[in-house]
Chains A and B, each alone.
Chain A
Amino acid sequence: MAASIPMINTIMKRILILGSKHNTGQCRTTNLTWCRTLMQSQRRYQEESEAQENSEEDLTPKRKIVDPETSIRYVHSPEFVKGYGDKPVWFHYRRNFKGKIPPPTRENCIRQGEIATASPCPICRDEYLVLDAKNIKLLEQFICPHSGEIFDSMKTGLCQTQQKALTVSVMRAQDQGLLEMKLPFRTYDYEDYKS
């Protein structure tokens, strides 16, 4: 292991499936010739013998899993201000795409416990940012202060998994009263209650 120079590679494999009967969950049309791309990033290019030795190490996830309480402490810490300033976490993020019109954001930045892309979304790239109902300070960064609606992922750059997690967390927070939701004005007819 020590002898080999670790080379950080992104290996992209395209699975060619012709007329497949596979579980083509990612396919968009029925007559597809290719299914989906597998990205394996930041893996060491090892020899087979070394792979056997290090199989135990590989089982541990590369991306640290942080609990919500730690995330809340992080968001209130001076380190957070140092990193992100007074702007929301998605402000200093630029998407990579060809052309002028951005495509919809990706499904997922994290596959099998590790980052699988070179430019992960604002939440996935920082393992200390956990979207949870209690983490109000983080959730509020994704809600428009004027209209009270959650920003679209096209604006913030979140991957779809994180966008769903955000929506569910915001709804949970609203259910518990941690965040305020938009309420309609209830009009009463006193005649209904007089009987």
Chain B
Amino acid sequence: MSFKMAATSVYRVLACSRSKLLTPFVCRGVSPNVSQIAARQLTLISVRCSTSFVGKVTANELWEGVTSVSNAGRKRGRGKSVKRKLDLNRGQRIGMGKSGMVFPGLTGPALVGKKLVDIHQVKPQEEEETAAPVIPKRKTLKIPALQRGYSGRKYPGTSIGSPDPINDYVFEDFDTKVLEYKMVSHMTGNLGRKMRVSTLVVTGNKQGLAGYAVAKSPMGKAALRKAKNMAGQRLQFIELYEGHTVFHNFAVTEGRTKIFVEKMPKGYGLDCHRIIKTICEIIGIQDLQAKVEGSDGNVQNICKGFFRGLMEQETHQSLADRVKLHVVEFRPELENVPVVVASPSHGEVNLEPIKEEAFDFDNMYYEDGKIPLKKAEDPLRLHRQTEAHWRTYLKNNRDRNQVQARYQRMIYGLEPSSEELKQRAKPLK
């Protein structure tokens, strides 16, 4: 038997089997006699002495063996973390690879009529025309940037719509945001670890009405829905000063979490922890400064504490009524002209003035007279770390005191163009 014949016989045998998982066996650099023996040995092996699963078991059956869980096992909670079976041949066209080689008997018929088909290469262009369409691998949709939460594809920070209507009441203009979404578990006797999703959600209409709630459920979406509706039933009205900020500074302690809140002027923005920022946006606060200290990762305590602080605020009117004096505001943008913000309701104003030392509006709402420590911040601190840092800063900011002057020169047409500046920077010949 010639080499070719031996090889062909091997292929024929292998091609006859039903298994899809085949690799072509090619004899190279072997003398014809040896190939004959090899071929016979192969045929012998494949027919008589094989105990392996190769060539006998289908892909499906193999996957079943790895991934399936018995009914008893499922009762005991097995098989939760097992992956699904994959179709490895998805999108593939069996027999056709990148190079476009055709192996007779393997990828196509070995004999065409009486003629033996040779191992040859098919042109790649024909290959592309007949190629299967590439199936996209994305399972879930891409979230647009503006609808992302705090990070990635996670729930915290995302919006989940308004609470479901209750009888006739429709929650118009209400938006709900997820603050916390976590998997919590407890151990059971039968099933072992039982997982649930716990979510903290805050809902509000951006005009003072807001509420928060925690809800749990084995399914994430159910937990969110529960929490949203619970929050909708636990609304609180929060008084705001001119609709954009709190009435005064305050500090709140909830567990090991401390929140220091400062009232800010219009246009300042929300300089806060992201949880507090989200809550402020839901309530309608636009200008605030808040610092969370201690346990700053405890979202539930931050939320509870902040709400408590807001509810315990004293409005200017109630302050005026309590102290029986006019509450007068001095604004720098109005040249510090006194503006009466609140007067005692029944017109009964005290005749004796309050002592200047006894009244400090900025710090009077802190408990036990403990005033938050304010450290002077150096904006160039990072640049002053070492001498080298400072030199780099100076080199990179040569016009640090001249930025405005440079812009003025540009307007008057005195500033040279960037090309000319580059030319000037070159060393003299």
Contacts and interface: CB of A to CB of B under 8 A. Distances in A.
Contacts of B182: none
Nearest to B412: A175
A144 B267 contact: yes
Main secondary structure, interface of A, reads loop
Interface in A99-151: 100, 119, 144-147
B148 A172 contact: no
Given A147-B267, A155-B269, A168-B407, A92 B146 contact: yes
B219 interface: no
B41 interface: no
Contacts of B333: 146
Contacts of A92: 146
B392 interface: yes
A172 B411 contact: yes
B112 interface: no
B396 interface: yes
Interface string B249-287: 000000000000000011101000010000000000000
A29 interface: yes
B169 to A, nearest CB: 28
B411 A168 contact: yes
A167 B405 CA distance: 12
A171 B407 contact: yes
Contact of B145 (A96, A100, A147, A167): A96
A186 interface: no
B266 A94 contact: no
B19 to A, nearest CB: 35
Interface in B138-194: 145-146, 148
Interface string B304-344: 00000000000000000000000000000100000000000
A146 B268 CA distance: 9
A82 interface: no
A194 to B, nearest CB: 29
B265 A28 contact: no
Given A168-B407, A171-B411, A94 B392 contact: no
Interface string A155-174: 10000000000011001100
Contact of B267 (A28, A29, A145): A145
A2 B267 CA distance: 54
A28 B145 contact: no
Contacts of B350: none
A94 B147 CA distance: 9
A94 B267 contact: no
Contacts of B44: none
Nearest to A133: B411
A144 B269 CA distance: 11
A94 to B, nearest CB: 4
A167 B267 contact: no
B410 A146 contact: no
B397 interface: no
Contact of B408 (A28, A29, A96, A171): A171
Contacts of B411: 168, 171-172, 175
B263 to A, nearest CB: 15
A146 B266 contact: yes
A144 B266 CA distance: 10
A171 B412 CA distance: 11
A119 B145 contact: yes
B266 A28 contact: no
Nearest to A172: B411
Nearest to A147: B267
A94 B146 CA distance: 6
A22 to B, nearest CB: 14
A168 B265 contact: no
Nearest to A185: B335
A146 B265 contact: yes
Given A155-B269, A172-B411, A175-B411, A29 B392 contact: yes
Contacts of B392: 28-29
Name the residue in A92, A93, A155, A168 with the highest tally of chain B Cβ atoms < 10 Å from its Cβ: A168
A175 B146 CA distance: 37
Contacts of B274: 100
Given A28-B396, A146-B267, A94 B407 contact: no
Interface in A26-68: 28-29
Contacts of A93: 146
A15 B322 CA distance: 70
A124 to B, nearest CB: 15
Contact of B410 (A94, A155, A168): A168
Contacts of A175: 411
A29 B333 CA distance: 44
Nearest to A175: B411
A92 B333 CA distance: 30
Contacts of B148: 94
A55 B274 CA distance: 50
A83 to B, nearest CB: 13
Interface of B: 145-146, 148, 265-267, 269, 274, 333, 392, 396, 407-408, 410-411
Interface of A: 28-29, 92-94, 96, 100, 119, 144-147, 155, 167-168, 171-172, 175
Question: Top 3 nearest A-B pairs by Cβ distance?
Answer: A146-B267, A94-B145, A144-B267
Given A94-B145, A171-B407, 10 more contacts: A28-B396, A92-B146, A93-B146, A94-B146, A100-B274, A145-B267, A146-B265, A168-B407, A171-B408, A172-B411
16 contacts: A28-B392, A28-B396, A29-B392, A92-B146, A93-B146, A94-B148, A100-B274, A119-B145, A144-B267, A146-B265, A146-B267, A146-B333, A147-B267, A167-B407, A168-B411, A171-B407
